[in-house]
Amino acid sequence: MANDSRVILLGEDVARMGGDFGATMGLLAKFGPDRVRDTPLSEAAILGVANGAAFVGLRPIVEIMFSDFITECYDQLVNNSAKAHYMFEGKASAAIVVRTASGAGFRAAYHHSQNPEAWFQNIPGLTVVGPSTPYDAKGLLIAAIRDDNPVIFLEHKMLYGTTGEVPEESYTLPIGVAEVKRPGTDVTVVASLKQVHYALAAAEKLAAEEEISCEVIDLRTLIPFDQATVLASLKKTGRIVLVNEAPKTGSINSEISAVIMEEAFKDLKAPVERVNSLDVPVGFAPVIEDYVTPGPADIAKAVRKVIDN
Amino acid sequence: MDKQKLLDYYRKMVLVRRFEETMEEYAKKGYIPGFLHLGIGQEASQVGAMSAFEPGDYVLPDHRGHGVCLMVGTPTREVMAEIFGKKTGTNGGRGGSMHVADLKRGNIGNNAIQGSTMATACGLAVSAQVKKTKSITFDFLGDGTVGRGEFHESLNLAGIWKLPIVYVLVNNGYAISTRATDAHPLADLAKMGCAYNIPGVTVDGNDVEAVAAAVKEAADRARRGDGATIVELKTYRWQGHFSGDPASYRPAEELAAWKEKCPIKHLRTQLLGKKLTDEAALKAIADDVEREIQDALKFAIDSPTPTIEDALRFVYVGREVAGK
Ligand SMILES: Cc1ncc(C[n+]2csc(CCOP(=O)(O)OP(=O)(O)O)c2C)c(N)n1
C-alpha cells in the first residue's frame, strides 16, 4: 500500500479493529480512512465496490471474513470479477484480491469451516492462491496485489498462528508455481494450505518408521495448479497422493487427477489416491470435525496404499 | 401491572443471564469448543420479545440467541448440551452454540451466515398463509444484518405479501467492531421498513415490559393478517463480540453506562419499589434458577459426545454416505 496509492482495502472490521484475525491491524492509522474502509455487513456490496473501483484503475484488496460467506458475493465474483477482462476485450480487468479465512479445525461448524477452492474451478478468469507459511503468505500476497487478475487468496484459519522467517523488505513469489517442500523418491504427495503441514508430518513419520520416501509438493496456487512441477515429480516417483481439505467430489484433486490421466497416465505405477474431507458438512463436535477432515494418518494410509498397489 | 407476569420475566431473565455466565465460565475452562457469542445485557430483548411467542409459531434466533432458544421451551439441559457438543444436545452436538434448533417447538435455528434467516422467515410465513394457520414468525436480527441485500429483498417480499412476521431487530450498537451508526444512515433502524411499507417501532430494549408490549402489538398485527412489523430494541452487549474478544474498539465508559441500565437490575428495582415482591422471594427465584443451571451443567458434562458414525448421518435423506 505504501508503494502503490491505487491499492485500497475494504471489508468488515478491517479498519478500526484490524480484521477478525488481526491481519490488517494498523493499516487504518498508516493509510487513512479513504484507503482503508470498514464496510457494513454486505458481502455482495463489498465485491461490487471492488469490481467497480478496479474497472477504473484502483487495486482493491477486500476481506471476506470467512470463506463460507463468499457465496454471498458469488454473483459479483463469477459474473463480474472473473469475466471482466473478457467482457472489456482486454481494456480493463478486476485487479482485485479477495482475502478470506478458510478451512476446518476451529470448531465453528457448518457455516464457518469450509474450503471453497473447488467452487471456483469451473469459472474461467479466477485464480486461487493459498499459502502454507508466513514467508509464502507475504510473497504471494504482494504478487496477488500486483497481478491484474482477480485473485482469491485463501488463508487457512488454523495457520494464522504459524511463525517463520519473513524478510522486512518487499518481495514476490510467482503465482502458479508450486514448491517442492521435501524431496523424495517413492511417492509424490501434493498438498496445499494446512494440509501441507500434515503431509510433511506424514512424510517424516513414513521415512523414519517405514523407509518410505515421499516428495511433498506445496501447490501454493491451487487454480491454476502447477502442472509442470506435479508431473515432473510423478515422472520420478510413479506414484501420487493428492491431498486437499475440501470434500472429495469435484474437489481440485479431481481436476489434478484428470490432468494426470490425460498427460501422465503412462507414468503411473499405481492409481492416483485422493485424500479429502468426506462428502459431509463440517459438524461442530470435535470428534465429528476431526473425523470428517483429513489428517496425517489419512495421508500416510494413502501413501501406503499407492506403494502396495 | 401483573405481578405474576413480572416475576416470570424476572425468573426468565435471571435464567438467561446465569446460563450465559455459566457458558462463559465453562468456555474458559475448556469445555466448549469454537466460538461463543454471549447475550449478557440483552436479556430483556430476548425474554420480552419471546413473551409473545405461542405454540405453533416459528422463531429464528440470532447468533447471540441462547436466551431465545431457551424461551421456546427447549429444556435448558438440551441447549447446554448442544453448546458442549454433546449427543444429547438439540442438534446432536453437530451444530454448537451458533446452530441450536428445536423444530418441534418452532425454533427453526439460527443461520451463522448473518441475515440468511430473513428469506427463510418469509418462507415460514408463506407456509402459514398457505396452510391458513395463525402461526407467526419471529425473526431475530442484529443491527449488522441491515447491510445485507437479503434484508432488503426479504422486507420487500414481506411488504408485498403482507407476511406474518415480527422482525425483532436487536440493535446492540455494534456489529463486531463496527458501530451501527457508522454502518447505517439511520439511527433508528426500525425506519428501514418504510420503503417496503412495513411499520417499525424503536423501543428501549432493556425494559422488558416495553419490549413485551411492543412485540405483542406487532404479533397481534401479524396474526390479524396485517403483515410484518420491525420492532427495534435498543440495547447493548456487555461482553466482546465472542467470548474472549477484549472489545478494545469500544470505550469503557460506554459499557459502564449500559451496565447501569442492566435490564435485570431495572426490573428488580421496580418490583421492590412497588412492593410487588421482597428480597427473599427474589432470592428464592435465583436459587431455583441456580438448581436448573446446575442440573443442566451436570447433564451436559456427563452426556456422551457424538461418535464418528454420527458424522455420516443425515447428509442425505434415505441415502448412506461412506466413511473412511
Ligand atoms: C454474511 C456474514 N458476514 C459476516 C459474518 C461475520 N459476522 C459474524 S457476527 C457479525 C456481526 C453481527 O452484528 P449484528 O448483526 O449487529 O449482531 P451482534 O453480533 O451485534 O449481536 C459479523 C460481521 C457472518 N457471520 N455472516
CA angle A270, A275, A276 (to 5 degrees): 150
Distance B39 CA to ligand 1 centre (A): 13
Q: In terms of Cα–Cα distance, which of B95, B90, B71, B72 is closest to B80?
A: B90
Q: Where are the alpha helices (DSSP H) in chain A?
A: 27-35, 43-55, 74-75, 84-87, 134-146, 194-210, 227-237, 252-264, 286-292, 296-308
Give me the sheet containing A240-247, strands edge to edge.
A179-182, A214-218, A187-191, A240-247, A273-277
Q: Could you give the maximum distance between any two Cα atoms of chain A, in Å?
A: 60
| Contact status, residue A23 vs residue B157, Cβ threshold 8 Å | no
Grid coordinates given for B200:
417499525
Q: Is A55 left (phi over 0), alpha (psi -120 to 50) or beta?
A: alpha
| Residue A65 confidence (pLDDT) | 97
C-beta of B114 in contact with ligand 1 (< 6 A):
yes
- Note the pLDDT tens digit of each residue in B121-146: 999 999 999 999 999 999 999 999 99
Q: In terms of Cα–Cα distance, which of A185, A230, A180 is closest to A207?
A: A185
Percent of chain A with pLDDT over 70: 100
Nearest residue CA, atom 20 of ligand 1?
B175
Mean pLDDT of all residues belonging to chain A: 97
Q: Where are the alpha helices (DSSP H) in A56-149?
A: 74-75, 84-87, 134-146
> Which of ligand 1's atoms lies nearest the C-alpha of A12?
23
Name the 3-class secondary structure at A98: strand
Q: Is the pLDDT of residue B162 over 90?
A: yes
CB atoms within 10 A of CB B246: 6
| Residue B1 confidence (pLDDT) | 67
For residue A247, the one-letter residue type is P
Q: Is the pLDDT of residue B53 over 90?
A: yes
Residues of A in contact with B146 (CB under 8 A): 40-41
Q: Is the pLDDT of residue B287 over 90?
A: yes
- Note the pLDDT tens digit of each residue in A267-297: 999 999 999 999 999 999 999 999 999 999 9
Question: Phi and psi of A282, rounded to 5°?
Answer: -85, 115
Element (H, E) at B1: none
| Residue A309 confidence (pLDDT) | 85
CB atoms within 10 A of CB A179: 17
C-beta of B42 in contact with ligand 1 (< 6 A):
no
- B95 vs A69, A72, A109: nearest CB: A109
> Which of ligand 1's atoms lies nearest the C-alpha of B175?
13
Question: Phi and psi of A267, rounded to 5°?
Answer: -80, -10
For residues B198, B202, B206, B208, the Cα torsion angle rounded to the nearest 10 degrees is: -60
Give me the sheet containing B58-60, strands edge to edge.
B58-60, B137-142, B165-171, B229-234, B200-204
* CA separation for the pair B257, B261 (Å, rounded): 7
DSSP state string for A5-18: TTEEEEETTSSSS-
The ipTM is 0.91
CB atoms within 10 A of CB A301: 15
Mean pLDDT of all residues belonging to chain B: 97
Q: In terms of Cα–Cα distance, which of A140, A150, A141, A148 is closest to A174?
A: A140
Cβ-Cβ contacts under 8 Å between A and B: the total is 137
For chain B, which residues lie within 8 Å of any Cβ of chain A, measuring from their own Cβ?
Answer: 33-35, 85-86, 91, 93-96, 98-99, 111-115, 144-149, 175-178, 182-184, 249, 305-308, 310-312, 315, 321-324
| Contact status, residue A14 vs residue A62, Cβ threshold 8 Å | no
| Contact status, residue B235 vs residue B171, Cβ threshold 8 Å | yes
- Note the pLDDT tens digit of each residue in B66-122: 999 999 999 999 999 999 999 999 999 999 999 999 999 999 999 899 999 999 999
HSE value, Cβ hemisphere, 13 Å, CA-based, for B157: 16
How many angstroms separate the CA of residue B274 from the nearest CA in chain A?
A: 43
Grid coordinates given for A200:
510433511
Contact B183 A109 (CB under 8 A): no
Q: Is the pLDDT of residue A298 over 80?
A: yes
Contact A284 B113 (CB under 8 A): no
Chain B CA closest to residue A64: B113
- Note the pLDDT tens digit of each residue in A150-160: 999 999 999 99
Contact A278 B324 (CB under 8 A): yes
CB atoms within 10 A of CB B120: 18
Residues of A in contact with B93 (CB under 8 A): 283-285, 288
- Note the pLDDT tens digit of each residue in B219-268: 999 999 999 999 999 999 999 999 999 999 999 999 999 999 999 999 99
| Contact status, residue A112 vs residue A68, Cβ threshold 8 Å | yes
Name the 3-class secondary structure at B3: helix
Contact A17 B311 (CB under 8 A): no
Q: Is the pLDDT of residue B177 over 70?
A: yes
- Note the pLDDT tens digit of each residue in A108-140: 999 999 999 999 999 999 999 999 999 999 999
| Residue A66 confidence (pLDDT) | 97
Averaged over A12-33, what is the pLDDT? 96
| Residue B132 confidence (pLDDT) | 97
- Note the pLDDT tens digit of each residue in B178-209: 999 999 999 999 999 999 999 999 999 999 99
| Residue B231 confidence (pLDDT) | 98
Select from B36, B99, B110, B114 the residue to mutate for testing ligand 1; criterion: most ligand atoms less than 8 Å from CB.
B114
